[in-house]
Structure 1
Amino acid sequence: MKLEQSTPDVNWQRAFTFTIYGTSVLVASYFQLYFSYLGFSSSQVGYLYAVGPFISIFSNMFWSMASDRYRTTKKMMILLFAGQLGMGLLLSATSSFYAVFALITVFYFFYYPVFPLSDTMSIQTAQRHGKNFIVIRVFGSIGYAFFALSIGYVLGNVGISRTLLLAIIIAGACLLLATRLRDGVKTNGQKMEWRGLWNVLRQKEVLWFFAGVFCLALPYRMNEAFLTLTLKSMGASEGLIGWSLLAAALSEIPVFFLLSRFGERFKELPLLTLAALMFALRFFLMSIADHPGTVIAVQTLHSVTFGIYYVTAVRYITRIIPDEFRATGLALFTIVWSSAAGLVSGTFGGVLYEQTGRTTFYFIAAGLALVACAGFLARHLLGNAKIPGASMDSRKM
């Protein structure tokens, strides 16, 4: 896979994809520490984490359907980061739980839709230039790795109280980069129609896929929400937490490249089954880990868990969802993977973690991953039904 001889809009898309994951690092791993710094309990942190996925159920659909309907992703991105910037400024000026709860709710309305829309634009840009989607998306992993390490050390030196200042700076940079993006063109020229979308969503293959995704997303989001608190309870510093996130992000990059070259040799459902099985192993090892160094080592399993899962899931959904519903289809995928699962894991995960402890918390997470593994395997053994009108361009994903 070659990265040279790229056109300007491909490079701007790569730069944008790189930068947006700085906010992802903050929201996924350091907002929880910031909320703890403000004096909130584990349960309150769980509620603040859960409200985002709840709001994103509506915000993902709203922004992605608007993108499909009006055929512009660039303008949506500009609005989203302008909103993040404004909410970040307001959040930095308050420490009351109820005020933070209200403001973070609005912040999440502008935060969550960025990622499915970014993937949509990356897919369109890659197809327009005859490239593989991964040559753009991999810059998200590189960006996540860079920000995971750098943010950890910055906050370790200036204090966790500066978390929102970093969020404001990164959102401002993303806003500027969004003005340089180029909207993609739908390949078949069709606008989204509600009846067609409903017909696609009723297909057994789509429903089965989303069910498996939800079962796997629950333990993944549980781990995401409480990984930093787990490390903190073991005595890890912000810098060491950054190394943990870096280990996960770097480990997925070679898997992305390998799947871009050889992934088409394997069917999607067996790959998803393998990823779910490795997730179960990862969470089981987390349940018995008792040292920050052990956790960092376990984090390298992100390569054969999320690395395999993400690329394969995007490839699968772009095959079973027609082109004119792409942004909405990826939004639905994000809602199941992030929003619905995050809502459950944040609300009940916080209580579970607080009442039962880390070992039971991760042991349950491993069991849920095994359920997803069984679901993907069962669907593969039952056979794949073809969905009329599904995109064949996904073979380039």
Structure 2
Amino acid sequence: MSALLEGRQRKALAASYFAFYAILGLMVPYLSLYLDHLGFNSAQIGWMLAILFATRMIAPNIWAALSDRLGTPVRIIRAGALLAAFTYLGLFVAKEFLVLAVVMGIYTFFWNAILAQLEVVTLTTLADRPQDYGGLRSFGSVGYIVLVVGAGWWFGLRGPADLPWVGLVLFLALLGASMALTEVAPRVRNEAETDIPFMSQLLQRPVLLFLLAAMLMQGSHGPFYTFYVLYLRGLGLGESTAGILVAVGVLAEIGIFLLAPRLLGRFSVRTLMALCCVMTSLRWVLTDAAGTSVLGHGVAQLLHAFSFGLAHACGIQFVHRNFSAAHQGKAQALYASVSFGLGGAIGAYISGQLWHNGAGASLTWTLAAVAAASALVALLLMGREQDGRRR
């Protein structure tokens, strides 16, 4: 790829990350607010968020298998964006629980086809400079911030009834960005590496333990993704304040993404991920203890740099280093499905069962902290120097 084409590709990737995570910035904090507006209870809200995450267990793997067979990840991204935008229209008419659950399942199935393939295109484009991933991915964080703050302000003024319209605009933006992407041929490192079966690479003890740790880490985010805005509103803090607090966390995430190349070059993925587990556990303890203190919640949100930002960078790099070029699509999809999919769905479901309209908040945050600490145990069982870097 020429320098000019690579420059255009990077801009298209940045725009795609921006739009994808802007949608996430709308849905994760505010979907529960919208569902509460429709009259759903905590358990029903937990189920809906679990559906959003559960499709990430299935969709990425199905679409990755198709992408690996066709060798066209950009086409998968475009198809996912188009079909997601079309099926998302059902959100305008679905008001009953079962109907809305079906709509959620369908449009998120297509939406969740996108990210793993976007990661593959990004890492293939970057070729010998995978450490530049953090800089490109930070555009997703910017998109998340813009929507979290903007939507928080807007919903604070008008209520959450406009959420479907905001989401439609974002899905159309994602479709437009995907049309600017260019297919990039993967660099096959050598024939011997290509011939290594996918399952042989997957069923390595360090790989399985790392995936378990990633699942527990994301599962610990269940109460945050499902109820954080409602939690703050119950404490007397409005949607605008909630949006700003979430944005503080994502700003910290951007900062850590910019530092990630140097950190990953100096420390092992295992060491950095272990640090993330400790900080994540501390984050949920602080979230529970902060009460009505905006400063306390702000400090807890700064730890988002570790609980999501650095942890995600570690996950992407671990998969990139431990699977051959021929299996990158399946491997990134598996990572997404196990961590964000299975972990996120379990976390959202359990949170919904324990939350009890806020009465079970303290117990839920405590279990989240325990889940993050359990991820640390899985990492310690991996052993040293399992990712190609020394401590």
- Same fold by TM-score greater than 0.5: yes
Aligned 8 A contact 2:217 2:307 in 1: no
Distance, in Å, in 2 between the alignment partners of 1:59 and 1:52 is 11
Partner SS, residue 220 of structure 2: helix
Q: TM-score, normalised by structure 2?
A: 0.91
1:111-260 equivalences under 5 Å are: 111-127=111-127, 132-188=132-188, 196-260=197-261
CA distance in 1, matches of 2:371, 2:258: 28
Q: Indicate conservation of the 8 Å contact 1:124/1:185, yes or no.
A: yes
Query: How far off is 1:161 after superposition?
Result: 0.3
In the other structure, the counterpart of 1:371 is 374
CA distance in 1, matches of 2:5, 2:233: 44
Preserved CA contact (<8 Å) 1:127 1:133 = no
Match of 2:10 in 1: 10
The change in CA–CA distance for 1:258 and 1:195 in structure 2 (over 3 A counts) is: closer
1:194, 1:341 → 2: CA distance?
A: 31
Instruction: Judge conservation of contact 1:38–1:95 (CA < 8 Å) in 2.
Output: yes
Deviation track 1:118-169 (CA, whole Å, cap 9, x = no partner) reads: 2222111222788722221111112211221112222223330000100000
**TM-score, normalisation: structure 1:** 0.90
**Cross-structure match for 1:23:** 23
Between 123-132 and 158-167, the greater mean CA deviation after superposition: 123-132
Return the offset for 1:372.
1.0
Counterpart pick for 1:354 among 353, 356, 365 = 356
Query: 2:79 — aligned with what?
Result: 79
User: 1:316 maps to what in 2?
Assistant: 318
Structure 1 residues 155 and 128, CA gap change in structure 2 (3 angstroms): farther
Cα 1:176–1:357 shift into 2, 3 Å:
same
Change (3 A) 1:222 1:327: farther
Kindly state the Cα deviation for residue 55 of structure 1 after the two structures are TM-superposed.
2.7
Deviation at 1:234, TM superposition (A): 1.3
Separation in 2, partners of 1:12, 1:236: 37
Shift of 1:195: 7.6
Which SS does the other structure have where 2:49 is aligned? Answer: helix
User: How far apart in 1 are the matches of 2:283 and 2:360?
Assistant: 18
Alpha-carbon distance between aligned partners in 2 of 1:83 and 1:131, rounded to the nearest angstrom:
32
Distance 1:212 1:130 in 2: 23
Matched position secondary structure for 2:334? helix
Letter of the aligned partner of 1:199 in structure 2?
S
Aligned residues of 2:219 and 2:348 also touching (Cα < 8 A): no
Alpha carbons of structure 1 residues 151 and 320: separation in structure 2 relative to 1, 3 Å:
same
Unaligned runs of 5+ in 2: none
Structure 1 contact 205–385 (Cα < 8 Å) conserved = yes
Equivalent residues of 2:279, 2:306 under 8 A apart = yes
Q: What is the identity, as a one-letter code, of the residue corresponding to 2:40?
A: F
Letter in 2 for 1:353: W
With over 3 angstroms needed to count, the CA separation of the structure-2 counterparts of 1:190 and 1:68, relative to structure 1, is farther
Give distance in 2, aligned partners of 1:223 and 1:374.
Answer: 22
Q: 1:369 is aligned with what amino acid?
A: A
Q: Given that residues 17 and 139 in structure 1 are in contact (C-alpha distance below 8 angstroms), is that contact kept between their aligned partners in structure 2?
A: yes
Pair 1:325–1:160, CA change in 2 (3 A) = same
CA distance in 1, matches of 2:129, 2:376: 36
SS at match of 1:132: helix
Query: How far, CA to CA, are the matches of 1:365 and 1:130 in structure 2?
Result: 32
1:243 Cα shift? 0.5
Cα offsets for 1:351-371 (capped at 9, x unmatched): 111186111111111111111
- The 1-side partners of 2:195 and 2:128 are apart by 26
Correspondence for 2:341:
339
The structural deviation recorded for 1:253 is 1.4
Q: Deviations 1:329-386 (Å, cap 9, x if unpaired)?
A: 111111111111122122221111118611111111111111111221232xx33457
Q: Quick check: 1:47 aligned with 2:47? A: yes
Give the distance between the partners of 1:168 and 1:218, measured in 2 at CA. 28
Q: Is the 8 A contact 2:194 2:324 kept in 1?
A: no
Report the CA distance between 1:172 and its aligned residue. Answer: 0.6
Going from structure 1 to structure 2, the CA distance change for 1:265 and 1:291 (only over 3 Å counts) comes to: same
1:279, 1:369 within 8 Å by CA — same for their partners in 2?
yes
Residues 231 and 292 in structure 1, CA contact (< 8 A), matched pair in contact too: no
Aligned Cα RMSD in Å? 2.5
1:133 is paired with a residue whose SS is helix
Give the 4+ runs in structure 1 shifted more than 4 A: 128-131, 189-195
Query: 1:306 offset after TM fit, Å?
Result: 2.0
Q: Note if 1:34 corresponds to 2:34.
A: yes
Q: How do residues 52-63 of structure 1 correspond to structure 2 at under 5 angstroms? A: 52-63=52-63
- In the alignment, the residues of structure 2 paired with residue 276 and residue 255 of structure 1 have an alpha-carbon distance, to the nearest angstrom, of 15
Task: Indicate the residue corresponding to 1:329 in structure 2.
Answer: 331
Structure 2 CA distance for aligned equivalents of residues 51 and 124 of structure 1: 31
Cα distance change of structure 1 residues 385 and 369 upon mapping to structure 2, 3 Å threshold: closer
Q: Which residue of 1 aligns with 2:302?
A: 300
Please give the secondary structure, in 2, of the residue aligned with 1:162.
Answer: helix
Query: Residues of 2 paired with 1:350 and 1:164: CA distance?
Result: 23
For structure 1, the 5+ residue unaligned runs are 387-391
Q: Is contact 2:209-2:381 (8 Å) kept?
A: no
1:119/1:137 contact within 8 Å kept = no
Task: Report SS of the residue matched to 2:132.
Answer: coil
User: Counterpart amino acid of 1:268?
Assistant: V
Q: Residue 184 of structure 1 aligns to a residue in which SS? A: coil
Residue by residue over 1:29-66, the C-alpha shift from the partner in whole angstroms, topping out at 9 and shown as x without a partner, is 11111111110111001111112233322211111121
